[in-house]
A and B are shown apart, each in its own frame.
Chain A
Amino acid sequence: MEHTSPLERILRGTALTLVVIFFMFPIVWILMMSFQTNETILRIPPQLVFKPTLANYTALITGKLTTAAGTLDIAFMRNLWNSVFLSVTSVAVALLLGVPAAYAFARHKFRGSEDIAFTLLSFRFAPALLVLLPLTLYFQKLGLANTYIGLIWVYQLICLPLILWIVRGYFEDIPADIEYAYRIAGHSWFATFRKIALPLAGPGIAAAGLLAFIFAWNNFVFALVLASADKQPVTVGALAFITSSGIQYGQISAAIVLSITPTLALALYAQRYLVEGLSLGAVKG
C-alpha cells in the first residue's frame, strides 16, 4: 500500500464506486420505491425527490390492499410468518439430521459411504419440477399436501444436502489427532463429538445453516405447488400483488424490503462467526 500513486488511488476509487453503485442500485431503488405511491413511481421521468409515504407498509401490515378497483385482502404478514416458520424449522431439522450424518461421513469410512453421500447430493441435481409432480400425488395420498410437516419435509431436499456436504468438509479439516487426543484422555466418542468436533466445526455449521436458510427462504416452486394460501411463504405470496387493476409496485417493494430484512439481519449477525471461522486456521498445530 505504500507505493500507490494518486492516479492509481483515483482509478481504484472510481472502480470501487462503480461496482458498489452497480450492485447496490436495485436495492436502493426498491427501498425508495417502497416509500412511494404507484403514481410517483410510474412518473416519467423518474424523480429522486419525492414525498415519502408509509401507505405501502400500512397496507401490508393491516392486510388491506387498496387499488383502483377497490379493497383487496392480502395475507402478506401471514406469508412472512410462514416463511420464517418454514425456513427456521427446515434448517433446524436439517442441522439435527445433517450434522451427525456429516460427522459419520467424515470420520467413519464404511462400505458405500461415498455412494450414500453422493446420492444425497444428487437430490440437488434433479430439477424441482421433475420431483414435484410425483411428490404431489404421493403427498395427497398420505395427507401431507398443504401441511407444514409436508413442506418442511420437502425443504429437506434443499437444506439437508447442503448442510451435509459443507459441514462434512469442516469435520474432515479437523485433524483426527485432536479427536484421538480427547479419546485417549478418557472421553467417550459422543463426548468427543460434542466437546471437540462440534465447537471446532461451529463456524462451518453456522455458514451451512445460513446458506440453507437463504435457500429455503428463497424457495418458490415447492411451496407454490404443495401449499395453499394459508401455508404459502412470501415468495409465493408476492404473486398477490399482481392484481387485475395493475401491478402494485409500491407494495411489492415494501414486501421485498420486509422479506429480505430477516435474511439480511441473520447474515449480518452470523458474519462475525463466519469470519471467526476463517481465522480459526490455527487448528493445525
Chain B
Amino acid sequence: MASLELKNVVKRYKSQTVLDNLSLTVADGETLVLFGPSGAGKTVLLRLVAGVIDPDEGKILIGGEDMTDVDAEFRGVGMAFQNFALFPHMTAFDNIATPLEASRSSQSAIKAGVESVAKLLKIGHVLSHKPRALSNGQKQRTALARALVGSPPVLLLDDPLRNVDAKLRFEMRLELPRLLADRGATVVYVTQDYKEAMALGDRIAVMSQGVIKQLGTPEQIYREPANIEIARLFGDPTINLLDVKPSRDAKGIYIGLSNVQVHLAGSYETAVGRDCVIGLRPEALAFVDEATPAAIPVTVEAETPLNEKIVTLVRTVRGREILVSRPAGTPGQTEGRAHIAVDGKSALLFDRASGDRIGSKNVVNLRSGEAA
C-alpha cells in the first residue's frame, strides 16, 4: 500500500500552463476525488501520476519513493480510462490479464486472478468476447477489472462512469465505494459529476484552470464552498445567487430581499456595505404562510416534480427568480402568490468582485438549520 504525493508539479503544453505549481497528498488507502470542469487539468494530473507523460517541474512520490523519472511500467499503478482504452484485438479475458502477464504470473494464476475479478464485477460470462461485442457497461467493467486485477497500491480512475448510461452509473456509484474500500488501495478518482464526487470521495479536490481551488471532505465542499464557482458546481438544482448589500441593525447583519430584512447568522462584519452575492441552496428555502416573520412575497412561476423532490421556480416582487426545493409529498404552493422564508444560518455570502466566500467556517449543519 502506498501514499501518493505531488510536489510543486508544473505541466505546460506549448505556452499554456495546464498544471500550475500543484501540490497534493493522498493518504494511504484514501479515495481522493478530482472534481472540476473539463480542461481543468484533472486527466493530465492522472497521467502524470501514471507516468505516461512527464511533468516539466516538480516531483511525484508514490509510497514515499520518487517516481518522477520512473517509466510507467515500473510505477505499480492501475488505471481505468474514460474511453475505456480496451485493446480491440484481444478478448475481455486477455484485456484483463495484461497486468498479470506483465508480472510473469503462471497461466493458472492468471486464470484465477482474472476470473475472481470478473466475478466481482459480474462480467464472467463475457470474458471470451472482444470489446466490439461488449455493451458500454461491460466495457466499463472490463476496463475497471483490468485496473483492479493486479491489486495495484495506487488506483487511478479517469471518469470511468462518464460513458455509461444513467442506470448503470447509479448502480456503480453505489458499488464502487465498497469495491475500492475492500481493495485498500489509494485511489484518485476523476469526475465531472458532483454526485459521484460526493458519493465516492473521502476528500474532494476541486480543480479549475490547473490549480486546486478547494480541498476538503464532501461535507465541507458543499457547506463551505470556497467561492461562487464551487458553490454553483455542487448541488442540484443549483444554488440561488442574488446580488445583495448587507447592512447592520440592532439584531445583527441583515440583507434586504424584496424589502424584507433577512438576518444572517455568522460573522459577516466585514461584509457590511460591500457588494455581495448571497447563495441560497434551494433546499434551504421553504414555503411559509404570510404571518411568518421575514416571509418574502413571491409569485410561483413553474413547478417541476422530480421523483424525490419538487422544484419550484418563484419570482420576487423585484423580478428576481429563485428556485425552491422541497421533498416530494410535503405541502407547498403550486401557483399564484406565496411566501418563502430564508434559513439565515445556511446562507452563504460571497464577495461579488472576487467571488470568494466571506466569513470563517461558521456555517452550521443544514439539517439542524432546517429544524430551527
- CB-CB under 8 A from A182, the residues of chain B are 87, 98
Among A177, A182, A189, A200, which residue has the most Cβ atoms of chain B within 10 A?
A177
A selection of 25 A-B contacts at a CB cut-off of 8 Å is A175-B83, A175-B85, A178-B86, A180-B81, A181-B79, A181-B146, A183-B73, A184-B77, A184-B78, A185-B73, A185-B98, A185-B146, A186-B73, A186-B74, A186-B98, A186-B102, A187-B73, A187-B102, A196-B87, A200-B88, A282-B88, A284-B83, A285-B84, A285-B86, A285-B163
Check A186/B50 contact, CB under 8 A, given A177-B81, A285-B84, A285-B139.
Answer: no
Contact status B87-A178, CB under 8 Å: yes
CA gap between A175 and B74 in the complex, in Å: 22
Taking the closest CB of chain B, its distance from the CB of A195, in whole angstroms, is 8
User: Whose C-beta in chain B lies nearest to the C-beta of A200?
Assistant: B89
Is A44 an interface position by the 8 A CB rule?
no
Check A180/B84 contact, CB under 8 A, given A185-B146, A200-B89, A282-B131.
Answer: no
Is A283 an interface position by the 8 A CB rule?
yes
Check A184/B103 contact, CB under 8 A, given A282-B88, A282-B131, A285-B84.
Answer: no
Is B29 an interface position by the 8 A CB rule?
no
B31-45 to A contact mask, C-beta < 8 Å, 1/0? 000000000000000
Determine which of B71, B85, B101 lies in contact with A181 in the assembled complex, contact meaning CB atoms within 8 Å.
Answer: B85
Contact status B85-A282, CB under 8 Å: no
Taking the closest CB of chain A, its distance from the CB of B178, in whole angstroms, is 24
A190-231 to B contact mask, C-beta < 8 Å, 1/0? 000000100110000000000000000000000000000000
CA gap between A188 and B51 in the complex, in Å: 13
Is B232 an interface position by the 8 A CB rule?
no
Check A285/B85 contact, CB under 8 A, given A180-B72, A187-B73.
Answer: yes
CA gap between A199 and B89 in the complex, in Å: 8
User: Whose C-beta in chain B lies nearest to the C-beta of A174?
Assistant: B88
CA gap between A182 and B83 in the complex, in Å: 14
Contact status B47-A180, CB under 8 Å: yes
* Interface set, chain B 54-111, CB cutoff 8 A to A: 71-75, 77-79, 81, 83-89, 98-99, 101-103
CA gap between A188 and B101 in the complex, in Å: 12
Contact status A280-B88, CB under 8 Å: yes
Determine which of A177, A180, A187, A283 lies in contact with B98 in the assembled complex, contact meaning CB atoms within 8 Å.
Answer: A187
Determine which of A175, A184, A185 lies in contact with B51 in the assembled complex, contact meaning CB atoms within 8 Å.
Answer: A184
Closest 10 CB pairs of A and B: A186-B102, A177-B85, A285-B83, A183-B72, A185-B99, A185-B98, A180-B52, A181-B85, A282-B132, A186-B73
User: Whose C-beta in chain B lies nearest to the C-beta of A176?
Assistant: B52
Check A177/B83 contact, CB under 8 A, given A184-B51, A185-B102, A200-B88.
Answer: yes
CA gap between A188 and B89 in the complex, in Å: 19
* Interface set, chain A 266-285, CB cutoff 8 A to B: 280, 282-285
CA gap between A110 and B74 in the complex, in Å: 24
User: Whose C-beta in chain B lies nearest to the C-beta of A279?
Assistant: B132
CA gap between A251 and B222 in the complex, in Å: 88
- CB-CB under 8 A from B86, the residues of chain A are 178, 181, 285
Contact status B132-A183, CB under 8 Å: no
- CB-CB under 8 A from B266, the residues of chain A are none
Is B218 an interface position by the 8 A CB rule?
no
In this complex, how many residues of chain B approach chain A with their Cβ under 8 Å: the count is 31
Taking the closest CB of chain A, its distance from the CB of B153, in whole angstroms, is 13
Is B225 an interface position by the 8 A CB rule?
no
CA gap between A131 and B192 in the complex, in Å: 58
User: Whose C-beta in chain A lies nearest to the C-beta of B53?
Assistant: A180
User: Whose C-beta in chain A lies nearest to the C-beta of B96?
Assistant: A185
Q: Which residue numbers of B lie inside 8 Å of A, CB to CB?
A: 47, 50-52, 71-75, 77-79, 81, 83-89, 98-99, 101-103, 131-132, 139, 146, 150, 163
Interface residues on A, range: 20 to 34
- CB-CB under 8 A from B78, the residues of chain A are 184
Taking the closest CB of chain A, its distance from the CB of B87, in whole angstroms, is 6
Taking the closest CB of chain A, its distance from the CB of B27, in whole angstroms, is 22
User: Whose C-beta in chain B lies nearest to the C-beta of A282?
Assistant: B132
Contact status A283-B85, CB under 8 Å: no
CA gap between A183 and B54 in the complex, in Å: 14
Among A181, A183, A184, A282, which residue has the most Cβ atoms of chain B within 10 A?
A184
Determine which of A178, A186, A199, A280 lies in contact with B85 in the assembled complex, contact meaning CB atoms within 8 Å.
Answer: A178
Among B50, B52, B88, which residue has the most Cβ atoms of chain A within 10 A?
B88
- CB-CB under 8 A from B52, the residues of chain A are 180, 183-184
Contact status B85-A180, CB under 8 Å: yes
Contact status B50-A180, CB under 8 Å: yes
User: Whose C-beta in chain A lies nearest to the C-beta of B149?
Assistant: A185
A152-189 to B contact mask, C-beta < 8 Å, 1/0? 00000000000000000000000101101111111111
- CB-CB under 8 A from B77, the residues of chain A are 184
Taking the closest CB of chain B, its distance from the CB of A285, in whole angstroms, is 4
Check A188/B132 contact, CB under 8 A, given A180-B47, A280-B88.
Answer: no
- CB-CB under 8 A from A285, the residues of chain B are 83-86, 139, 163
A92-131 to B contact mask, C-beta < 8 Å, 1/0? 0000000000000000000000000000000000000000
Contact status B73-A283, CB under 8 Å: no
- CB-CB under 8 A from A199, the residues of chain B are 89
- CB-CB under 8 A from B85, the residues of chain A are 175, 177-178, 180-181, 285
User: Whose C-beta in chain B lies nearest to the C-beta of A186?
Assistant: B102
Contact status B99-A186, CB under 8 Å: yes
CA gap between A181 and B47 in the complex, in Å: 11
Contact status B73-A188, CB under 8 Å: yes
CA gap between A181 and B20 in the complex, in Å: 26
CA gap between A199 and B130 in the complex, in Å: 14
- CB-CB under 8 A from A282, the residues of chain B are 88, 131-132
- CB-CB under 8 A from A188, the residues of chain B are 71, 73
Taking the closest CB of chain A, its distance from the CB of B353, in whole angstroms, is 41
User: Whose C-beta in chain A lies nearest to the C-beta of B131?
Assistant: A282
- CB-CB under 8 A from A181, the residues of chain B are 79, 81, 85-87, 98, 146
